Amino acid sequence: MKTGNETQISEFLLLGLSKEKEMQPFLFMLFLFLYLVTIFGNLLIILATITDSHLHTPMYFFLSNLSFIDICFTSTTIPKVLLNIQMQSRVITYAGCITQMYFFTLFVGLDDCLLTVMAYDRFMAICHPLHYTVTMNPKLCVLLVLGSWVIIALHSLIETIMVLWLSFCTHLEIPHFFCELNQMVQLACSDTFINDIVMYFAAGVLGGGPLAGILFSYSKIVSSIHAISSVRGKYKAFSTCASHLLVVSLFYCTSLGVYLSSAASHSTHSSVPASVMYTVVTPMLNPFIYSLRNKDIKGALMKFFGRVT
């Protein structure tokens, strides 16, 4: 890694989406629709949890935070995609690319950490119901969310600073529709050994750690549900964590799809469809997954709209 950024880079080119002009109106409408649905759906979850006192519980506190992060997550990439399609441009400034990379890394990590915190919440609710109220007190809930923000923000800052010290050559085309950390490192013409080491270490700790925590929590949850004698009791216990389990599966399956599709073909162009699922579709589906089978959320929304009308 060089001791400074020797090149005066002013902009990059994002090449991830289709270059065909006849596809641009369709892509614009598609991304705009997905973005608006994501914003509207997650805002409804936040409004429901804030306005209904019955939802002032740890589970819905974490859910509202997840919805806020999903709004920020999609807002990191989609507005720039829409602007570039509308302006018929693929350019993103160096400062804009670095900023987008920082916030994308931040909100991906926060998504992962918050899903782990929610798994711990379900673990305490099902495996230790008598201690749940005492253990999952408001102070602990705030500390868990705040701690996630601090850890992931520091990680994103370190990764971003390390990219700032890289030198870039004349090949400034990013085969993606947004600036992503791994893409930026691969684009550099200076030594990236330390960057690679930090990325892989962070992926193991901040990616593998939360996944291990989720798997451990659900192994205990499955054991506790299996020990329940009545079928109705088993169904009730499972239904409290079914939505979260589906969201976790969707998050990790799509992120794994991005990695596998890119590694299998050695080309990031093939990972673009998987990245769309990962960065756009998954945050859009989360509020629907949590609300469609959740009577509390639906009841809170009906009360809210009833008061408005």
Q: Per-residue pLDDT for 5 more than 60? A: no
Q: pLDDT tens, 77-98?
A: 999 999 988 888 889 999 999 9
Q: Per-residue pLDDT for 266 more than 60? A: no
Q: pLDDT tens, 287-308?
A: 888 887 678 888 887 887 777 6
Q: pLDDT tens, 171-191?
A: 688 888 899 898 888 888 888
Q: Per-residue pLDDT for 262 more than 80? A: no
Indicate the DSSP class of residue 174.
Answer: E
* Averaged pLDDT of the chain: 87
The letter for the amino acid at 290 is Y
* Run of H or E residues at 13: strand 11-14
Q: Distance between CA 184 and CA 166 in Å, rounded?
A: 9
Side-chain-facing half-sphere of 20: CA atoms under 13 Å = 5
Whose tokens are 């549900």? That residue is: 225
Contact 48, 293 (CB under 8 A): no
The SS3 of residue 1 is coil
How confident is residue 261, by pLDDT bands cut at 50, 70 and 90? low
Contact 116, 170 (CB under 8 A): no
Least confident of 39-53, 109-123, 199-213, 294-308: 294-308
Indicate the DSSP class of residue 88.
Answer: T
Q: What value, to the nearest 5°, has the Cα angle with vertex 194 and ends 188 and 199? A: 85
Q: Distance between CA 77 and CA 13 in Å, rounded?
A: 14
Q: Distance between CA 180 and CA 243 in Å, rounded?
A: 29
Q: Thinking of the domain 11-308, which architecture would CATH place it in?
A: Up-down Bundle (1.20)
